[in-house]
A and B are shown apart, each in its own frame.
Chain A
Amino acid sequence: MTTGFSWLTLVLLVPILGAVAILCTPRREAWLIKTFALIAALATGFLVLGLLLNYSQAAATGSPISFKYAENVQWLPQIGASYRLGLDGLSAWFLALNAVVFLLGVVVALVRGVDRPKLFFGLLILTEAATAGVILSTDLLLFYLFWEGMLLPLYFLLSSFGNEKRQRATVKFIGYTVAWYLLMLLAIIYLHTQAGGSFSYDAIAARQTTGQSIITVPGFGWKLLTPDQFAFLAFALAFAIKVPLVPFHTWLPDLYESLPASGLTFFAGIVSKLGIYGFIRYAMTLFPKEMHDFQGLLLALALLSILYGAFMALQEVDIKRIVAYSSISHLGFISLGVFALTVIGLHGAILQVINHGIIIAALFIIMELIEVRTGTRDRSLMSGLEKAMPWMYFLFMITALAALGMPGLNGFAGEFMIMLGAFEASWVLAVIAGIGVVLAGWYMLRLHQGLMHDPLHKGTKEGMTDLRLRERWVLIPLCAAMVALGLFPNIVGQLDQGSVQQYMAASHTQPASAITQPTPLTHEVHA
């Protein structure tokens, strides 16, 4: 039963109430809708801040991973499903990023203006509740409910706001992602039966997985995988699409190109990172042996994402697509940190998730501001904007440098940890990741210089104004955060100390205490 005040349910309730309030206000009072949206986003933000501040004092419960502010209410006892929420070091930061990014989305929407405010803000705040649900739930069925339920408001949001290509992009995104999620649903049900009929995370983590017989194809006798490996693959692929890792990424560029900046801040900021969250929380701890068996494959995918994303970003002409592919490359980095299965790698991954959230949000806002001013998204039709907009130049420069991982800014802090973690797994990973960093330097500078430097392009419109005060004050806090996190990344480090150790112990890679020597990457499949 719940002990003490159920804070986490409040974190879910506030956005839902906000959304309901917005949906009830008539369409005419646009200002009322906007204030409701702002209040909901701010309230959630402060609530999350409060939770983070006294996170260390809160009591922790739960076996492999200890959760704070835990809540547990019987919901469907017959099939062992219960309404369980919990917060650990990992999800605390994801929740923080979630609150920040949605607040940013609302602010950008207010600054840039949006045509159907009631529909937009209602759906935006509803999505916040759904993503918060995904982060907070510790019952696999509840997790799945929020995980796929998130697509509902997202679907209406993506298909009604954006440019002309949005319909096709949305169908592609929703269609293909949901197809894989259903396989994950099967895996969840399979785990549920294995764990003796309960969906709770602790019960499933404690299920005994020995004695798995390899499924062979009847008649042909081909040795396929053990059922647990199939379940792991279902989980891994569902998360890989969300991250996205390269072969499953084709929905991302089209979608990011069609979304407005206010949509992109929260979509690129948190929604696409829940894949990483899934890998750490569920794939790594519930399938420790399988994670090891497939570690080689997953690392290869991560590296492929880094390099492939970088190459595509080099060649793209549309500035939003460049940023989209750079986001794929960065997420490749983060997944490299996760799949290296080392303590430092995981620390780096969590840190980089927050950094990337800030950087990508800032980048997309800047891209939209440039698009509004120059009227086009084609890189070859724009250059020499620095003379007209010094403020834009300065803020875009800091964001670009942070994005390419320049030491001193937040991009580097995460990447350094990730590459060190990957180095411990095997030195080849760090070298290839290094190539990724060089390529990142190249395409990010090409983007920044392509737009800012060189003489003014004859095609660009006259009378381009610099950033207005409001727009400036959206980007300045982000750049300040980039510099601050670059110099003081330990803020993130302290909070998730305990949890990272627990995740490592749960995934049987390292005993929680010491770090083993960088053993060469062994591929022997455990019996």
Chain B
Amino acid sequence: MTFAHMLAATLPALQFPSGADVVHLLPELIVGGGFIVTMVLDTLIPPSRKSWLAAWSLLVLLASGAVTVIDWVTVGGQQISVYAESFSYDRFGLFINALILIAAIFVVALSPSYLERQKIHHGEFYSLILAASAGMMFLGSSESLMMVFLSIEVLSLALYLLSGFRRGNTKSQEAGFKYFLMGGFASAILLMGMALVYGETGHTQLPAIAQVVAADLQSVDPLLLTGIVLVFVGLGFKVSAAPFHMWTPDVYEGAPLAVTAFMSVATKVAAFAAILRIFSVALTPLYTHWEVAVSAISILSMLIGNLVALRQTNIKRMLAYSGIAQAGYMLIGVAVSGSAAIAGVLVYLAAYTLSTFGVLAGVMLVAKGDDDSSSYRSLRGLGHAHPYVAAMMALSLLSLAGFPPLLGFWGKFFVFTSAIQNGQIALAIWGVLTSAISIFYYIRVILILYSPQESEQGGTVSWLAPARVGAVVVGLGVAATVVLGVFVPVVYHLALSARDALLVRIAAP
């Protein structure tokens, strides 16, 4: 078999991306293109006017957002595969894109004032953010193993650099390096898993794999299962699920606040999109096998995340553990097969994005000093100095804790309902008990915000006045948590239509 025959026989006709493909992936491409243009602009613009870069990247993101909205309306319920079935253009991808764009827009809006104060070099910051966003958006819509791996690598590399972005600050360097090494190792494991899955099923496209897996259910060969587990370990690392969460606290603490905010929110959204596509959709026939592992990881994450968070004295580390715990709750949705669970996870992702960002953005507005005034001691008494910012942070924390009128409650509620409806009551009970523990450390932060300011460590820690633009953006985010919490059907409908789009392919192969 000469190489030419093999080429012709197996690979579908290689053709340059047709016009339709470009249109369907426009949001991702805009951000990707934006990334490259920003790199070029960065060299041209004199250092003094670096903030123009922020404006430009904001423009790119907004454009991509607009296109996403338009696509949402035009695509309707269909699920079109693009670029030789490596990407899928559907409402699910657009939902994930929307969340990532929101996070990116928030970060880019807040970072000019933040970078100025922390005297961090603007330079490549915005381009790296755009690169990471592009990677995540690709991950959201990718439907073949290759594309999943590629987009993960794109976003990871950008994030490695971003975590180590603060020159001269040893913590930031160490964080970046740690993230790089662990990330590399995890990618290697993920890759090995993908290789085995490819090997055993013969395909890299998820729909094809789904068919193969669904076909011969009786004899499940161990290699395929190992592959699946390894893939889950790789993605588990990205989502910082429990046994593979060790990197999260150190990296979050070391990285600059803007990066921590972006990383903690957007990576989880993209990674969960991949997990949902692979596990909740493609590999559901093997559900009984991998369900035990996912439940165990979910319970472990909830436990470790909530318990260790009780002991933290730094808000970034506390939010890292809170992230681990929330990943645990979302994994309940993955562990519970069934379409309601997927909708639950999507709503949870939206709630998690808005709430976590609300907290970190609040600190970002008033951050001062090299530890970004993120330790509890330096946050004491913020409520009296800046009541508006403190109120925003308090509401976001309460939403994370799951108090009803806020969106955070609905995330947990939908996930728990799907768990009980499918009979996994144990998972729900674990979820409830651990979220009861979580209330304590969220409220402790609020207490610290509003506690009287002792000044025994010489001179009160003063905060910087929040920039007007930043305050407005944060206000919008927190207002969304409250308003969407009350009018939750809006979010729920979006999540439902995204889920239906996801399941179109499976329903009618």
Contacts and interface: CB of A to CB of B under 8 A. Distances in A.
Chains A and B touch (C-beta atoms under 8 A apart): yes
Interface of A: 75-76, 78-79, 144-146, 148-149, 151-152, 155-156, 159-160, 167, 171, 174-175, 178-179, 182-183, 185-186, 189-190, 192-193
A4 to B, nearest CB: 25
Question: Top 3 nearest A-B pairs by Cβ distance?
Answer: A179-B436, A149-B404, A182-B432
Interface of B: 394, 398, 402-406, 409, 413-414, 416-417, 420-421, 425, 428-429, 432-433, 435-436, 439-440, 443-444, 446-447, 450-451, 488-489, 492, 496
A78 B492 contact: yes
A186 B416 contact: yes
Contact of B403 (A151, A179, A183): A151
B421 A152 contact: no
Contact of A167 (B398, B403, B451): B451
Nearest to B414: A79
Nearest to A141: B413
Nearest to B404: A149
A152 B401 CA distance: 11
A152 B403 contact: yes
B453 to A, nearest CB: 14
Contact of B440 (A167, A175, A193): A175
A124 B451 CA distance: 21
B495 to A, nearest CB: 10
A178 B429 CA distance: 14
Given A76-B489, A186-B416, A149 B405 contact: yes
Nearest to A167: B447
B405 A75 contact: no
6 contacts: A152-B403, A152-B406, A179-B436, A189-B421, A190-B425, A192-B417
Given A75-B489, A167-B447, A182-B432, A189 B420 contact: yes
B129 to A, nearest CB: 34
B492 A174 contact: no
A183 B436 CA distance: 9
Contacts of B417: 79, 189, 192
A192 B416 CA distance: 12
B443 A193 contact: no
A208 B435 CA distance: 31
Given A149-B405, A152-B398, A152-B404, 18 more contacts: A75-B489, A76-B489, A78-B492, A78-B496, A148-B403, A148-B409, A149-B403, A152-B405, A160-B450, A167-B451, A171-B443, A175-B436, A175-B440, A182-B402, A185-B413, A189-B413, A189-B421, A190-B425
A230 to B, nearest CB: 9
Contacts of A152: 398, 403-406
Contact of B443 (A78, A174, A185, A189): A174
Contacts of B435: 182
Contact of A171 (B414, B447, B488, B489): B447
Given A75-B489, A193-B421, A159 B450 contact: yes
B444 A171 contact: yes
Contacts of B439: 174-175, 178-179
B429 A175 contact: no
A59 to B, nearest CB: 29
Nearest to B440: A175
A75 B398 CA distance: 24
B420 A193 contact: yes
Contacts of A76: 488-489, 492
B404 to A, nearest CB: 4
A175 B398 CA distance: 12
Nearest to B451: A167
A189 B403 contact: no
A179 B100 CA distance: 33
A152 to B, nearest CB: 5
